[in-house]
Structure 1
Amino acid sequence: MLTINVAVLLAVIVFFRLRRRTQSRSRSDEKTTVLIVLALGILIAPTPLGQGIRNILRQLAAGVTQAGR
């Protein structure tokens, strides 16, 4: 039996969509890409990977805030 992780599938789709040249994208194509990326973010967020990314971004934001003072 073959199982497909939806988050991995969406990550692959995003990778191939973003490899295309910017000039060849229409507005609807860009909107579709944004929706796919949002869906990927929602799927990744509750996972340990998503929590790790959130912690890294939080530390980065805190470092930028401290550097700005």
Structure 2
Amino acid sequence: MQYTISATAFLAIVIVIRLRRRTEARRRTDEAFTVFTAVVFGVLIATTAWGHAILQLVGIAVEATR
């Protein structure tokens, strides 16, 4: 039996683990790495159906607040 994990799922796990840490103990490099992984995660998820659904929800929320 073989298990696979997508890069998007792996990055989501990494982001959740990193964001659970205390913010006072972080250095600038830690914060920069977290931002970088979040941006890469956003780019990877944007091309999926999930990403399109999130984009539509955000668009509806923006239009509702105008």
Q: TM-score, normalised by structure 1?
A: 0.91
1:5 counterpart residue number: 6
1:63 counterpart residue number: 64
1:34 maps onto 2:40 in alignment: no
The alignment of Structure 1 onto Structure 2 pairs a total of residues equal to: 65
The structure with more radius of gyration = 1
RMSD, aligned α-carbons: 0.5
How far the C-alpha of 1:3 sits from its partner, in A, is 1.4
Q: Structure 2 regions of 5+ residues with no counterpart?
A: none
Equivalent AA in structure 2 for residue 36 of structure 1: T
Instruction: Give CA deviations for 1:1-25 in whole Å, capped at 9, x if unaligned.
Output: 2211110000000000000001011
Which of the two has greater helix per residue?
Answer: 1
Moved over 6 A (4+): none
Q: TM-score, normalised by structure 2?
A: 0.95
2:20 counterpart residue number: 19
